[in-house]
Amino acid sequence: MRLQLIAAITLVLASGLARAQGEINVLTDLNSPFPPGCIALSLPDAPASANNTLFDEEISAPSVGSQVRDSVVRVTIWRVGCHDPGFSIVMVRLQAVEFPASSFVMVPRVFADAGITDFPLHEGQLLPHPAISDAGASSEVITPEGRTYMLAVNPTTFNDPESFFLPEDYNGEFTMELFWGDFSPVAAPFGELFPLNAYDPDFDPPQFGAQILHGRMSGQYVFDGIPSTGFQLMVGEQSDDSNFIFAIFFTYLNGEPIWVVGTTGGEAPGIPAIELGMLRLTGGEFFGLGPGSFDNSDLVIEEVGSIFIDPLDCNTLLLGYDFSPIGGGTGVLEAERFIRIAGYDCNPWQE
């Protein structure tokens, strides 16, 4: 049945999506059923605990072109909770335990669907990297060392235009299928089914201490109850793969608008929080006066205090501040995201 369906849609897939080769289209990039910013640095090698393990078993699988299931693959599946409430990511770790010396076992195609079903319709991807990319793992060889992947699932399917796979399905009970039929249709005409329990925060914790600062945290933030005041955060990447942080605070001082800025570079990716010294620049002229109206020697740079940025989840920052040098005092504010970065959102599913 799976092979017949695959044959029926071969022409559609060949038109550019090439999903069997692991490519994800733009729609899926923006609508994978988990927050792209949930895990941004590295994937865990194992579940948090035995209670957190959905499956850990060895299954028979065919090596490439084999007429029989001549290999053994260890499959470990668990969920990692996100710091965004109600969201998780399914981890799938594949390890080649036995295989012929002259051949190898490929990472299979993946399908999923809501509930318990014998025939999942939605094609998925096993993503080897924490950031959403344009290539899954279906062209990789399963190694004896093993590797962990994130399970992404396409929200729509050619098989049924009325069927959708959304975050509530992904975080609920659903069925995942590993299908080796592309590599050995005789030995594996049917896939291996794995019914996965729903996400439970009590058993599926985040496997990292805190939400980290990364590029998907970039954006503009506002503060509840403080009108026309905002904070802009940009997390960039430098040529040496280190991060730089650039922040602008828009507020008022003595009834007049003021903006202050802070920046730092050379930060290792994965910083959980950071402190920035903040500066005020004065002495320039309105840009409309054109080139030559002022130069760098006219600018006065004044140290006005510092801020401490501590991300809580994809759309919330805890912002500590000390603006005592200009009479602004000290305190802590909670900043809520105001503007998302189009096509590079941290959690496109959160309202």
Q: Are residues 136 and 171 in the same domain?
A: yes
Within a domain: residue 205?
A: no
Based on the structure, what is the number of domains in the chain? 2
* 323 and 222 belong to one structural domain: yes
Structural domain that includes position 73: 2-196
Domain presence at residue 57: yes
Asked which of 196, 226, 241 is the last residue of a domain, the reply is 196
Give, for all 351 residues of the chain, the pLDDT tens digit: 555 444 433 333 333 333 233 333 333 344 578 887 888 778 899 999 999 999 999 999 999 989 999 999 999 999 999 998 899 999 999 999 999 999 999 999 999 999 999 999 999 989 887 755 445 676 799 999 999 999 999 888 888 888 889 999 999 999 999 999 999 999 999 999 999 999 999 999 998 877 888 888 899 999 999 999 999 999 988 888 888 899 999 999 999 999 999 999 888 887 889 999 999 999 999 988 899 899 989 999 999 999 999 999 888 999 999 999 999 999 999 999 998 777 777 887 776
Residues 46 and 84 in one domain: yes
- pLDDT the model gives residue 14: 33
279 and 310 in one domain? yes
What pLDDT, on the 0 to 100 scale, is given for residue 11?
31
Q: What pLDDT is recorded for position 309?
A: 96
Q: Which of 32, 18, 51 is closest to 124 using CA atoms?
A: 32
Same domain, yes or no, for 76 and 189?
yes
In sequence order, the 6+-apart residues with CB closer than 8 A to the CB of 188 are 61, 62, 69, 179, 180, 181
Q: Would you state the pLDDT for residue 2?
A: 55
For residues 43 and 81, membership in a common domain is answered with yes
Token pair of 256, please? Answer: 């007049």
Q: Do 178 and 238 have their domain in common? A: no
130 and 252 co-located in one domain: no
Same domain (yes/no): 231, 335: yes
Q: Which of 168, 196, 224 lies at the terminal end of a domain, its last residue?
A: 196
- Answer positive or negative: Cα dihedral of 151, 157, 160, 166: positive
pLDDT of residue 28: 36
By CB atoms closer than 10 A (0-12, 13-18, 19+), residue 107 is: buried
Q: Are residues 72 and 124 in the same domain?
A: yes
Do 238 and 330 share a structural domain?
yes
In this prediction, residue 329 carries a pLDDT of 94
pTM: 0.79
